[in-house]
Chains A and B, each alone.
Chain A
């Protein structure tokens, strides 16, 4: 399956600042996905990132808060802007790949704490 490198693995940030998370895949993929996992909860899709077009955001997530770049088929970034403590969460990137059926592989996640 695809190998996804995500960094940073963790960070502690001051409120009001921004953090950019990087996701690198070892193969070309059409779609990349960004998820958030808040403490004690399951994963929620933030947006879908396609190369060459604007990301598609899910309800409750906006581009100004979570700008996404997708410059090529192996790389994407998610920025968490103007952070507040409520943004403390794990952020994960994911790709879809064929595993006998289309399945989804996740990066190891970025554990963000906003103080």
Chain B
């Protein structure tokens, strides 16, 4: 079983749609969780960290369920510019600092 698993997609959605990505992780001792965005031929960029209580940043909402070892990202009112690969990232332990990346979910927003 992979440490971090994501549905690869692609998710093809129209502008304005709401789309949700899911991610599961295998290490129950994982401490930190992130969603990164990677545009084609670019480096990953931090989209948001994921907190136990869930957190929201504009159109983006991230949720963490530690009992089910499950992370989600919800994007509301999708824009063309949201088209990218979304990477679920887990830090399995706080020492040493190490990130484990999911394979990514491709989102394509179309007009």
Number of interface residues of B (CB under 8 A): 19
Contact B49 A42 (CB under 8 A): no
B59: Cβ under 8 A from any A Cβ: no
> Does B32 contact A102, Cβ atoms closer than 8 Å?
yes
Contact digits for B91-106, partner A, Cβ 8 Å, 1 yes 0 no: 0000011111111100
- Residues of chain A with a CB closer than 8 A to B103's CB: 41-42
**For the complex, what is the distance from the CA of A107 to the CA of B46, rounded to whole Å?**
12
Residues of B within 8 A of A48 (CB): 96-98
Do A31 and B97 touch across chains, with their CB atoms under 8 A apart?
Answer: yes
Query: Cβ of B66 < 8 Å from any Cβ of A?
Result: no
Within the complex, the shortest CB–CB distance from B111 to chain A, in Å, comes to: 26
Point out the residues of chain B lying under 8 angstroms from A53, CB to CB: none
Residue in chain B with minimal CB distance to A6: B43
Q: B42 an interface residue at 8 Å Cβ cutoff?
A: yes
B-contacting 9-mer, from A14-22, A62-70, A92-100: A92-100
Cβ A42 vs Cβ B101 within 8 A: yes
Pick the residue among A41, A45, A56, A99 that contacts B99 (CB under 8 A): A45
- Contact partners of B21 in chain A: CB under 8 A: none
Decide if B44 touches A100 in the complex (CB within 8 Å).
no
A31-B97, A42-B104, A45-B98 known; A100+B49 contact, CB < 8 A: yes
A28–B46 Cα distance when bound, in Å, is: 20
How near does chain B come to A4, taking the closest CB pair, in angstroms? 9
Contacts of B44 in A (CB 8 A): 43, 92, 106
Chain B positions near chain A (C-beta within 8 angstroms): 32, 34, 41-46, 49, 87, 96-104
